[in-house]
Structure 1
């Protein structure tokens, strides 16, 4: 079994994927209380540190085979500074500090797709070129979660650093066009949410709390506990009813268009969109419960009007589209759990990376 450390761990999407491939988490660090509580509920409080990574002493950092995580970027402006002592690079300093102390054979950085155009990425390359990462060879590029069997199109930057020989990024196992030799067809939303009840039974979480890190937080919730409905207005319901699978705001008749959309005839094409059963969803963001923020309407809709599910996806459905297991536990309020789900690395993508690394470890 290979040991691992998860930095900026969130609710544990990356750990979930790696743990499913037999990796053993030795340390996880997360600054957000409710995300850290969710992580601890699923993987254990004993190795979970809730707090600022900068306050973690070197003596608390164990050796590990792998370090994973995605340090937040301080914007994506072309700052030009590659100075590790620039205070804007503090979280990167901390990531590199942990890598230096843990001395992993491999580290993995996950970040947004535009990360490779950022100053932080240039900083990383500079550290590999004679700096603190000089013993590591880097591979990097974009991976789409849908290309690895996740029922969601989510493009992320992945960096693999290795001191045991260069490790290229894993190759796709799935594709939109199945005729591509040797690849499977993209997985549609039906595979993840097709069996979840169409009707929601509540708009609020159950009354339940749990103590973690000496503090009381809402939780733990699982499965249908977070299958939460909303109370849309009659106008919203009428809008939803006009939108077919793959459609969006351009399917609305003029009298149902808000003024801001009527005056913007192009762009924001996925707003008020409806998913398709046969294709992966678009990226699940932190406000997936608001159809005006993207393609978040439930995929069930028939042209005859006999069977339409006119609501956005629920927290449970969003978690399943992020590939979290059905029995995954959650802590926090509705908003906090939605943030955890939207910010997570899809479990299936993390699993594919872990599976790939095992060959080299």
Structure 2
């Protein structure tokens, strides 16, 4: 008989080998505050999405660097229509195609993506929104930050496609580290590139995924720009740090040691000896001294640490003596169980670790709806009447 996960903490004896570390929240609080105050641009506005509903209009979008489809999934949840996607990874593209069969997919290098030619194949529907996340390997603080990594310039290809399609709004996400690369010159270059193609109203804010109900600490830099000289709407945070959803809220009903391959509930197999070593790792501690970011035990009763694949070295379960499964990772990213990842277990973990949390993308979509609807109705001048939070109030709420 399968044993289900207990919500009771393990015995004190289990974690006596190493001193327990304190949980860290709000990794980018200082930078986040600066973007809301001293670095605040005149275009950003925060919208209360608590009672927001889906739009009666049909909004089409394209997802660049779409990966498995986290951003697409979130926007589909608010009834946006995925017209096309671009992805260079065959396995991630296969996952995207499986979960969004009605979207047109371009598998290949974005440098070879001819957006006009591609849209002609789907009868040139109007594109209201372009979203995406250029690769962040050179930006991330999780690994070596290489300012000269050629992948850092892929955002220029994102800009090129936007200039060809000319959507109303653009949303580009990345790791917060992109904002401090080369002493802020990367951020400045992104702003200048958008301005050069007519998207002079551009904003960037760090949104904490956990503040929108994602059971994971995952701050993201969200760039929003438009070509209609309007404000850039962001979803107002819904939860205070003390209200963040704990890891148990997402994974407590999955079998402890019985895999379910059909929904990607699989994990790296461990020998009995290896499991005994894992048993000695306290919350916040790592199994290895030289790979501190891998095989790190999650904190019980807290949101998940930022999940990543780490070549099979995922985080250790908060209570069990194994690493978390691909499906547990997906739930911590807010993917529904109906969203199935193609490929091997490790490939699934890689896709999940690189994805945008669908719930965060959903909230971003809800924030955009009032502005998109006003444009559709020709009432852009009335947008200033939409309720918004003051910058002082917002800064206080976020910290």
The reply to whether TM is greater than 0.5 is: yes
Partner of residue 284 from structure 1, selected from 307, 318, 321: 307
User: Which position in structure 2 is the counterpart of 1:240?
Assistant: 278
Segment drifting more, 3-12 vs 54-63: 54-63
SS at match of 1:28: strand
Q: Is the 8 A contact 1:28 1:48 kept in 2?
A: yes
User: Which position in structure 2 is the counterpart of 1:66?
Assistant: 129
Kindly state the Cα deviation for residue 287 of structure 1 after the two structures are TM-superposed: 2.5
TM-score (norm 1): 0.76
Kindly state the Cα deviation for residue 278 of structure 1 after the two structures are TM-superposed: 2.4
Kindly state the Cα deviation for residue 272 of structure 1 after the two structures are TM-superposed: 4.2
Partner of residue 257 from structure 2, selected from 186, 199, 209: 199
Q: Is the 8 A contact 1:111 1:156 kept in 2?
A: yes
Q: Is the 8 A contact 2:127 2:167 kept in 1?
A: yes
Q: Is the 8 A contact 1:274 1:299 kept in 2?
A: yes
Partner of residue 187 from structure 2, selected from 107, 121, 127: 121
Q: Is the 8 A contact 2:135 2:151 kept in 1?
A: no
SS at match of 2:323: coil
String of CA shifts for 1:276-330, please: whole Å, max 9, x gaps: 4422100111238425xxxx22223xxxxxxxx2111011111111111111122
User: Which position in structure 1 is the counterpart of 2:91?
Assistant: 34
Kindly state the Cα deviation for residue 79 of structure 1 after the two structures are TM-superposed: 6.0
Q: Larger % of strand: which?
A: 1
Structure 1 residues 139, 299: closer, same or farther in 2, change over 3 A?
same
Cα distance in 1 between the residues matched to 2:267 and 2:250: 18
User: Which position in structure 2 is the counterpart of 1:101?
Assistant: 164
Cα distance in 1 between the residues matched to 2:92 and 2:236: 31
SS at match of 2:268: coil
Structure 1 residues 115, 24: closer, same or farther in 2, change over 3 A?
same
Q: Does 1:188 align with 2:246?
A: yes
SS at match of 1:331: coil
Cα distance in 1 between the residues matched to 2:268 and 2:84: 37
Structure 2: gaps (5+ residues): 1-57, 140-144, 373-399
Structure 1: gaps (5+ residues): 81-85, 178-184, 206-221, 250-256, 301-308
TM-score (norm 2): 0.69
Cα distance in 2 between the residues matched to 1:166 and 1:6: 22
Kindly state the Cα deviation for residue 186 of structure 1 after the two structures are TM-superposed: 0.6
Q: Spell out structure 1 runs of 4+ moving beyond 3 A.
A: 76-80, 86-90, 270-273
SS at match of 2:85: strand
Partner of residue 318 from structure 2, selected from 290, 299, 318: 299
Partner of residue 333 from structure 1, selected from 344, 368, 372: 344
Q: Larger % of helix: which?
A: 2
Structure 1 residues 102, 193: closer, same or farther in 2, change over 3 A?
same
Structure 1 residues 74, 333: closer, same or farther in 2, change over 3 A?
closer
Partner of residue 171 from structure 1, selected from 208, 222, 236: 236
Kindly state the Cα deviation for residue 348 of structure 1 after the two structures are TM-superposed: 1.0
Cα distance in 2 between the residues matched to 1:5 and 1:350: 14
Cα distance in 2 between the residues matched to 1:14 and 1:329: 15
Cα distance in 2 between the residues matched to 1:154 and 1:73: 14
Kindly state the Cα deviation for residue 74 of structure 1 after the two structures are TM-superposed: 7.0
Task: Give the 5 Å matches for 1:147-162.
Answer: 147-162=211-226
Q: Does 1:12 align with 2:12?
A: no
String of CA shifts for 1:27-61, please: whole Å, max 9, x gaps: 10111000000000000165111112222222214
Task: Give the root-mean-square deviation of aligned CA atoms.
Answer: 2.6
Kindly state the Cα deviation for residue 73 of structure 1 after the two structures are TM-superposed: 4.7
User: Which position in structure 2 is the counterpart of 1:227?
Assistant: 265
Structure 1 residues 90, 277: closer, same or farther in 2, change over 3 A?
closer
Q: Is the 8 A contact 1:289 1:314 kept in 2?
A: no
Cα distance in 1 between the residues matched to 2:216 and 2:191: 30
Cα distance in 2 between the residues matched to 1:314 and 1:163: 43
Q: Is the 8 A contact 1:11 1:35 kept in 2?
A: yes
Cα distance in 2 between the residues matched to 1:20 and 1:2: 12
Kindly state the Cα deviation for residue 87 of structure 1 after the two structures are TM-superposed: 7.4
